[in-house]
Structure 1
Amino acid sequence: MKRIAILRCLQTSASCAGSGCLRAMFDHEKSFAQYGEEELRLTAMWTCNGCGDSLLGNQEGIRKKIERMKALELDALHISNCTHKKDAEGVKHLCPKIKAIVEELEAAGIHVVDGTH
């Protein structure tokens, strides 16, 4: 059994219930296909604490979330497609806040998969 977590964007969560990420996981779509028919356990579906105008006041909270992910002994963290934003030319780039989270978790030995759908 693989222990999985999904990280998504706070701004997007204002209008997204996460159903696409969950469907992709349970149906073993695209980025989850790598697990074949192996059982997946969703151990966390968490949200970044935001950036720009959507920044949550309690930034200590993101530290707690990151430390919790490290303690969960995850097999993989999937970062949702919503964590990529388009620039002026329409090219998608990983959000800098999410990128910093990903780098810290990768340094802690957690495998990160870019994408959920």
Structure 2
Amino acid sequence: MIKLAILVREETTARCTGKGCLKSFFAKSESFARYQGSEVVLAGFFHSGGDLEYKIGKMKEAGVQVIHVSTCMRAKYEYYEELVKRLAEDFDVVGYTHGSEHGKIRNTLTIVGKTGKF
């Protein structure tokens, strides 16, 4: 079983329902297509605001192995690259959730992190 979490952009949560990320997760499509044939559990859905280090600790406690950084983070979060690298210290990271794997503004980063299981 693979435990994963989705990290979304705080500012986007003011108008986004999470529909695109969750639709892709449950359909195992787009960035989640890699899990076809695997048992996957969504153990967290959280935003980038507040105490991110605390949230990372909670995801580790929950046994999360992979974090998908949402497409809105890739497109609009200024420190996307740094964030992905930080998360990769503790998790495998997929740098988008839905839509094109190739971003309009920056390339998608996907990193096999500390777990090395991805």
> Per the shorter chain, which TM-score range?
0.7 to 0.9
Question: What displacement does 1:83 show?
Answer: 0.2
User: Structure 2: any 5+ residue segments left out of the alignment?
Assistant: 99-118
Change over 3 Å in CA distance of 1:31–1:105 after alignment to 2 = same
TM-score between the two structures when normalised by the length of structure 1: 0.74
Identity of matched residues, %: 33
1:33-52 superposed matches below 5 A: 33-49=33-49
Cα deviation, 1:28-84, whole Å, max 9, x if unaligned, reads 1111111112121100000001xxxxxxxxx4x322112112222222100100002
Asked whether the equivalents of residues 6 and 78 of structure 1 are also in contact (C-alpha less than 8 Å), the reply is: yes
User: Structure 1: any 5+ residue segments left out of the alignment?
Assistant: 50-58, 87-93
The structure number with the bigger radius of gyration is 1
Taking the aligned partners of 2:71 and 2:41, their CA distance within structure 1 comes to 20
Backbone CA RMSD of aligned residues: 1.7
- Structure having the higher helix fraction is 1
Aligned length: 98
Taking the aligned partners of 2:58 and 2:94, their CA distance within structure 1 comes to 18
Q: Which has the higher contact order (CA 8 A, sep 6+)?
A: 1
TM-score between the two structures when normalised by the length of structure 2: 0.74
Of 95, 100, 107, 2:78 maps to 95
